[in-house]
């Protein structure tokens, strides 16, 4: 896929943006999953990608990470294609994407996050091990380092994946539904950690499914439904109108948002969780 | 024949050594195949080796092992590619694609086999022994070939250990950090094909898949780390190989290959039944323990609710009433609770049935469990 507008390879294109997506179209069996996406995420924000089921949220991340081929368009991360920026980017896939019955320990999975920095053949050493233990500490499950991964709860599995991303020492983090199916304590811990990354100048981009918590957790929003419906700072772009455009008839989902759409943060009618 | 003679028998040494080599290589490579849910690809690969064996023979015109194994590897690899193409390009699911490739290649092999046999002549040399293997026909020279293939495969696994492990556990993540995932997966499949080739003379195309699957499945039951699983699978494969070889040597005429497979299968059965944590027996016992613990917890909770309803922490609950709540196992549950010091039997009034009273510890435990349930839902 060659795009003349981006100039010769190696030249920086939109280096001031953590993520720059232009004219991206992805189709699956001839059906467009993402259509003509133009998207910019500045560095140092914590961004949510929201949208109804089938909106292409996961596909957008996978396409940015070159896991899914694009039909058209291009992606730049800090000004360069993904292949040139791998070491600056960490990815937390959906928890259910792997078989947790694999014979290994939590610590070992976290160490896999170091593999990209190690390169071929070289084995992780004591420094990598310390780094992994530190990451497990950060996600609050240092005591489970030696635990067989099949014996971890859903929330603990998610924390292990998060720790694996932490040891990648990235500048940009992509997370695919990290809060799906985890307990409230884990969700709070994950959010605190991600906000911590953001506060250290990292960029965090999260596929998120819970509209009720967007205002509380995020400062940047991308509302997606095959096309980009809206993007920008949460206080500007996260409006009931945009959500209605994205979610169409699923209005019941939006009830809490309507009240929250007034500039006050949506605490007024926090639904029972 | 005494033991020394028996063990120094030249043929037996060859067979036992060949079986051991086969066990090691198939155990190691089978571990990856099983964890990648590719067990049946091993089956397809081995069946698909048959036409290659025949083609190798036809090209060279003699029963020359190098040519035959090369042919086997080629058609095995072709079958693996066919499976890949069918699942990627058509709407066939993996199981159907494997089934189709396996039977088409095997049928082709059987046809070629009958063509060769029909031509007659001394050189046709019993290719049908590759169906179920003929261990006794193994020569010292064959062992060198098997050993070299095995060493190469083991070296590759050791050198690229980290890469193979990551691709097996989380191929998507492996791709994001820049590993050539497809290439590594092809390498793993090719190595399984190599293991199959190593086992052709010994076990034959029909049963070879068992050698790829069985040691790995058995080893998985006993281990919690990939390193240990791979090593144990190699040992189990080796032990099965030697056991099969020895049994077949003591009773002349029993086929070695099937005996090796049976030995491996016996280890699988034992492992599936008795391994700690993952074994059927272990899990059944754990279920019984959990059910009992839950029953005790329910009874404790009922007693707590009764003390609350009656505003009397030492309210004596009648056995019969508890039975109507929880069924006839209540007495056993109460006795287990009594043994832990949580309840005491009490006689309420003469002539009435047994009653039970919460002890102070029992009350505290019941309150704790009650709070835990409320907390989990918050």
Percent of chain B surpassing pLDDT 70: 94
Per the model's pLDDT, the better-predicted residue between B123 and B167 turns out to be B167
Pairs across A and B, CB distance < 8 A: 69
Instruction: Using CB atoms, pick whichever of B169, B174, B179 lies closest to residue A104.
Output: B169
Cβ proximity of B278 and B312 under 8 Å: no
Identify which of B52, B76, B112, B75 has the alpha carbon closest to the alpha carbon of residue B195.
B76
d(CA B208, CA B44): 10
Is A42 an 8 Å CB contact of chain B?
no
Identify which of A200, A253, A215 has the alpha carbon closest to the alpha carbon of residue A51.
A253
Per the model's pLDDT, the better-predicted residue between A243 and B2 turns out to be A243
Instruction: Using CB atoms, pick whichever of A86, A98, A115 lies closest to residue B162.
Output: A115
| Mean pLDDT (chain B, rounded) | 88
C-beta atoms of A65 and B162 within 8 A = no
Indicate the burial class of B305 (C-beta count within 10 angstroms; 0-12, 13-18, 19 or more).
middle
Instruction: Using CB atoms, pick whichever of B161, B165, B172 lies closest to residue A97.
Output: B172
Residue B341 has pLDDT above 90, yes or no: no
- CA distance, residue B227 to nearest chain A CA (Å): 9
Is B101 an 8 Å CB contact of chain A?
no
C-beta atoms of B169 and A98 within 8 A = yes
- CA distance, residue B224 to nearest chain A CA (Å): 5
Query: What does pTM read for this prediction?
Result: 0.84
Most A CBs within 10 Å: which of B158, B224, B230, B275, as the mutation test of the A interface?
A: B224
Is A121 an 8 Å CB contact of chain B?
yes
Residue B377 has pLDDT above 90, yes or no: no
Q: Cα B311 to the chain's mean position, in Å? A: 57
Residue B241: the pLDDT is 93
CATH class entry, domain B3-253: mainly alpha
Mean pLDDT in residue range B81-90: 88
Mean pLDDT in residue range B330-352: 81
Question: CA-nearest residue of chain A to B177?
Answer: A116
Residue A253 has pLDDT above 80, yes or no: no
DSSP 8-class letter at B121 = S
Residue A252 has pLDDT above 90, yes or no: no
* pLDDT digits 0-9 by tens, A6-63: 555 567 888 889 999 999 999 988 888 999 999 999 999 999 999 998 899 999 999 9
Residue A7: the pLDDT is 54
Instruction: Provide the H-helix boundaries in chain A.
Output: 57-64, 106-111, 115-118, 126-138, 154-166, 184-199, 214-217, 234-237, 240-247, 255-260
| Mean pLDDT (chain A, rounded) | 86
Write out residues 142-171 of A within 8 Å (CB-CB) of B: 148, 164, 168
Residue B357: the pLDDT is 86
Is A119 an 8 Å CB contact of chain B?
no
Identify the H or E element spanning B318.
strand B317-318
Percent of chain B surpassing pLDDT 90: 43
Is A83 an 8 Å CB contact of chain B?
yes
d(CA B271, CA B218): 5
**Spatial CB neighbours of B302, under 8 Å, sequence gap ≥ 6:** B317, B322, B325, B326
Identify which of B278, B251, B247, B281 has the alpha carbon closest to the alpha carbon of residue B261.
B247
CATH class entry, domain B282-377: mainly alpha
Residue A273 has pLDDT above 50, yes or no: no
**Spatial CB neighbours of A85, under 8 Å, sequence gap ≥ 6:** A77, A78
Is A50 an 8 Å CB contact of chain B?
no
CATH 1.10.10.10 maps onto chain B at 282-377
Three-class SS state of B77: helix
C-beta atoms of A102 and B169 within 8 A = yes
Highest mean pLDDT among B17-31, B108-122, B132-146, B304-318: B17-31
User: Which chain B residues have a beta carbon less than 8 Å from that of A182?
Assistant: none
- CA distance, residue B228 to nearest chain A CA (Å): 9
Q: At CA B251, angle to CA B248 and CA B256, rounded to 5? A: 20
Instruction: Provide the H-helix boundaries in B133-252.
Output: 140-159, 161-169, 171-176, 181-199, 208-222, 226-250
Q: What is the dihedral of CA B45, B47, B51, B53, to 10 degrees?
A: 80
Tokens (6 digits) for B61:
């015109």
Residue A266: the pLDDT is 36
* pLDDT digits 0-9 by tens, B16-59: 999 999 999 999 999 999 999 988 888 999 999 999 999 999 99
Is A116 an 8 Å CB contact of chain B?
yes
Q: What's the number of CA atoms in the CB half-sphere (13 Å) around residue A190? A: 29
User: Which chain A residues have a beta carbon less than 8 Å from that of B221?
Assistant: none
- CA distance, residue A150 to nearest chain B CA (Å): 9
Residue A256: the pLDDT is 52
Question: B178-186 long-range CB contacts below 8 Å, 24 or more apart?
Answer: B178/A83, B178/A86, B178/A116, B179/A115, B184/B160, B185/B36
Tokens (6 digits) for B112:
């070629």
Is A272 an 8 Å CB contact of chain B?
no
Identify which of A178, A198, A184, A199 has the alpha carbon closest to the alpha carbon of residue A49.
A178
C-beta atoms of B224 and A105 within 8 A = yes
Residue A257 has pLDDT above 70, yes or no: no
CATH 1.10.3470.10 maps onto chain B at 3-253
């Amino acid at each position: 896929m060659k795009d003349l507008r981006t100039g010769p390879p190696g030249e920086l294109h939109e280096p001031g943006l953590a993520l720059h997506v232009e004219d991206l179209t992805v189709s699956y069996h001839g059906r467009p999953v993402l259509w003509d996406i133009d998207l910019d995420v500045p560095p140092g924000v914590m961004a949510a990608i929201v949208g109804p089921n089938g909106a292409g949220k996961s596909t957008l991340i996978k396409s940015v990470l070159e896991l899914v081929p694009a039909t058209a368009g291009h992606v730049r991360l800090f000004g360069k294609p993904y292949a040139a920026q791998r070491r600056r980017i960490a990815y937390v896939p959906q928890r259910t994407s792997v078989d947790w019955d694999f014979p290994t320990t939590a610590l070992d999975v976290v160490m896999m996050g170091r593999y990209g920095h190690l390169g071929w053949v070289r084995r992780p050493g004591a420094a990598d091990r310390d780094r992994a233990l530190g990451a497990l500490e950060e996600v609050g499950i240092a005591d489970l380092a030696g635990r067989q991964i099949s014996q971890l709860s859903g929330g603990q599995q998610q924390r292990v994946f998060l720790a694996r991303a932490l040891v990648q020492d990235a500048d940009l983090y992509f997370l695919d539904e990290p809060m799906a199916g985890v307990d409230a304590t884990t969700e709070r811990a994950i959010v605190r950690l991600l906000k911590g990354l953001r506060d250290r100048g990292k960029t965090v981009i999260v596929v998120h499914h819970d509209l009720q918590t967007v205002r509380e957790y995020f400062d940047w929003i991308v509302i997606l439904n095959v096309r980009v419906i809206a993007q920008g700072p949460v206080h500007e772009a996260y409006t009931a109108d945009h959500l209605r455009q994205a979610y169409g008839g699923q209005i019941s989902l939006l009830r809490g948002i309507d009240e929250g759409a007034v500039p006050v943060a949506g605490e007024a009618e926090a639904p029972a969780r | 024949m005494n033991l020394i003679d028996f063990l120094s028998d030249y043929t037996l040494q060859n067979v036992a050594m060949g079986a051991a080599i086969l066990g090691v290589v198939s155990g190691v490579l089978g571990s990856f195949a099983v964890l990648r849910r590719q067990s049946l690809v091993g089956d397809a690969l081995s069946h698909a080796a048959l036409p290659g064996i025949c083609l190798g023979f036809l090209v060279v015109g003699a029963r020359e092992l190098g040519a035959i194994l090369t042919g086997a590897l080629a058609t095995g690899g072709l079958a693996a590619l066919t499976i890949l193409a069918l699942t990627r390009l058509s709407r066939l699911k993996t199981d159907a694609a494997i089934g189709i490739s396996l039977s088409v290649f095997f049928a082709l092999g059987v046809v070629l086999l009958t063509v060769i046999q029909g031509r007659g002549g001394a050189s046709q040399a019993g290719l049908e022994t590759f169906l179920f293997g003929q261990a006794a026909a193994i020569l010292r020279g064959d062992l060198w070939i098997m050993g070299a293939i095995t060493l190469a495969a083991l070296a590759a696994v050791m050198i690229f250990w980290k890469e193979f492990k990551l691709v097996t556990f989380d191929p998507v993540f492996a791709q994001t950090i820049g590993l050539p995932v497809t290439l590594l997966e092809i390498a793993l499949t090719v190595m399984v094909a190599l293991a199959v080739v190593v086992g052709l003379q010994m076990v034959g195309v029909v049963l070879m898949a068992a050698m790829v699957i069985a040691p790995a499945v058995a080893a998985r039951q006993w281990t919690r780390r990939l390193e240990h699983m791979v090593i144990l699978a190699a040992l189990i494969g080796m032990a099965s190989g030697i056991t099969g070889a020895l049994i077949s040597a003591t009773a002349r005429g029993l086929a070695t290959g099937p005996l090796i497979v049976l030995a491996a299968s016996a280890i699988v059965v034992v492992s599936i039944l008795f391994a700690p944590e993952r074994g059927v027996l272990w899990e059944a016992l754990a279920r019984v323990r959990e059910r009992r613990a839950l029953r005790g917890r329910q009874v404790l909770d009922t007693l707590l609710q009764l003390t609350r309803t009656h505003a009397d922490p030492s309210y004596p609950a009648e056995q019969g009433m508890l039975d109507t709540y929880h069924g006839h196992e209540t007495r056993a549950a109460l006795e287990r609770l009594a043994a832990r010091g949580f309840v005491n039997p009490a006689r309420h009034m003469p002539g009435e049935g047994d009653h039970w009273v919460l002890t102070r510890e029992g009350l505290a435990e019941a309150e704790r469990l009650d709070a835990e349930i409320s907390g989990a839902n918050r």
